[in-house]
Amino acid sequence: MSAYHPLSEAQAIEYARQIPNLFQSGSELTSHEIGDGNLNLVFRITEKASGKSIILKQALPYAKVVGESWPLTLDRARIESEALIIEEGLVPDLVPHVYAYDADLALTVMEDLSDHIIMRRGLIERNEYPLFAEHIGRFMANTLFFTSDLGKNQQDKKIQQGRFINPELCKITEDLIFDDPYRDAETNSIEDHIRDAAEQLWSDSELHFEVAILRQKFLTSAQALLHGDLHTGSIFIKPDSTKVIDPEFAYYGPMGFDIGAVLANLILNFAGQEGWSKDLESRKAYRAYLLQTVKDVWTHFEANFRALWNEHGVDRVFQAPGYQDYFIKNLLQDTAGFTGAKMVRRIVGLAHVADIDKIEDSAARERAQRLALAIGTSFIRANRQVASIDELIAIVTKESAV
Ligand code: SR1
Ligand code: MG
């Protein structure tokens, strides 16, 4: 019989006490459940005397955002802890340290990052993070390159892929990103004032063709071990530090899906700016910062990725003249499509983003939603054509000028 049970705050303290070499025996510990995501329990355990703290993250056997009617595998806790450990081996400064993983309780014990804030909140507060683009570009270049056939022994890659099949969490993505937004699905969440725009998505067969291309890539293109859910709620940040958390959706998929998640969430915040400042000039300045960050994320990613390829490429055939350029061009195109799909799902699908949903003025919120849909659908349509990051920036600029 499994020993699994969801922990209470008191039980989390008892659990933490038993972890060797963390807290003084008998010291006073406090416990708070601080999880605000869609799926898990997250306890922060603090030792009163020393101020030392850790995080216990426990998977629930269902999706918290919906309830017990949506069962969900506990194996995602294993996936998350194994992915974090792999990422720590590649970019130790950019992920939290994992102290322990408990398979019976589907629980990971990890470093507390409470001196950072969740990046989505940081962007809503309109903070600037000058090191973010370099950090996330380096995170994605290293994790994607060194888990792919470009940078990892190709037999070892296949074995590693076997540990990251993750069918249930992939199915969530397949439904919520690559299906439901394009039909009148029960799980969609659509505000009445944009119903017409949603209906347009459902009847646009040319758009459906492009979404089919992206869906097929998500289902079959096992390029690299992805984070799988790399939105700004999966990033802890402060001005001098970036930490990527929450890789429970990790699986072997198309690289552009991770890059697209980062860009989409920057652009969703861009679309919501009217809701977060009354001052037009300050809004323009923050939007310029966000667009520059979009460009810098891609540029840092590309520079790091090409350097890794040139220095650590494992495959002789992939050194063929012109192949690296061809690969990067295709990756940018995938990134464009996945960015668009990730924007659209956050406006009409099941799980939205606070950058848009928390805008109180409904007229401003509607404008933000329509802008996000216009940019998102344009990006999806660009997925086979775009040739430079500047072309993608130009789409955002054009749609937001209308
Ligand atoms: C039912 S889970 C909804 C969403 O939350 C996660 O963060 C993923 O983005 C997923 O699609
Ligand atoms: Mg998450």
From residue 219, give the alpha-carbon distance in Å to each of 41, 180, 183, 229, 297: 29, 16, 19, 15, 25
CA–CA separation, 134 and 139 (whole Å)? 8
Tell whether ligand 1 has an atom less than 6 A from the beta carbon of residue 211: no
Tell whether ligand 1 has an atom less than 6 A from the beta carbon of residue 176: yes
Q: Which of 7-11, 28-32, 65-69, 137-141 has the lowest mean pLDDT?
A: 65-69
Q: What is the DSSP letter of 52?
A: -
Nearest to 108 by CA among 33, 58, 160: 58
Q: In this predicted structure, what is the pLDDT of residue 64?
A: 83
Residue 115 has pLDDT above 50, yes or no: yes
Within 10 A of 143 (CB to CB), how many other CB atoms are there? 28
Task: Work out the average pLDDT over 91-104.
Answer: 97
Task: Work out the average pLDDT over 114-139.
Answer: 98
Residue 36 CA: which ligand is closest?
A: 2
Q: In this predicted structure, what is the pLDDT of residue 1?
A: 42
Tell whether ligand 1 has an atom less than 6 A from the beta carbon of residue 246: no
pLDDT over 70 percentage in the chain: 100
User: For residue range 266-281, what is the model confidence (pLDDT) as tens digits?
Assistant: 999 999 999 999 999 9
Name the band, by pLDDT with cuts 50, 70 and 90, for residue 402. Answer: confident
Dihedrals phi, psi of 244, to nearest 5 degrees: -90, 125
The interface predicted TM-score (ipTM) is: 0.98
Nearest CA residue ID for atom 11, ligand 1 = 173
Q: In this predicted structure, what is the pLDDT of residue 383?
A: 98
Residue 2 has pLDDT above 90, yes or no: no
Contact 55, 109 (CB under 8 A): yes
From the CA of 173, give the closest atom in ligand 1. Answer: 11
Residue 261 has pLDDT above 70, yes or no: yes
Contact 270, 287 (CB under 8 A): yes
| Domains by residue range for the chain, with CATH | 9-111 (3.30.200.20), 117-401 (3.90.1200.10)
Task: Work out the average pLDDT over 188-216.
Answer: 98
Q: In this predicted structure, what is the pLDDT of residue 173?
A: 98
pTM tops 0.90, yes or no: yes
Tell whether ligand 1 has an atom less than 6 A from the beta carbon of residue 38: yes
Residue 136 has pLDDT above 80, yes or no: yes
Q: H or E segment at 205?
A: helix 205-220
User: For residue range 326-366, what is the model confidence (pLDDT) as tens digits?
Assistant: 999 999 999 999 999 999 999 999 999 999 999 999 999 99
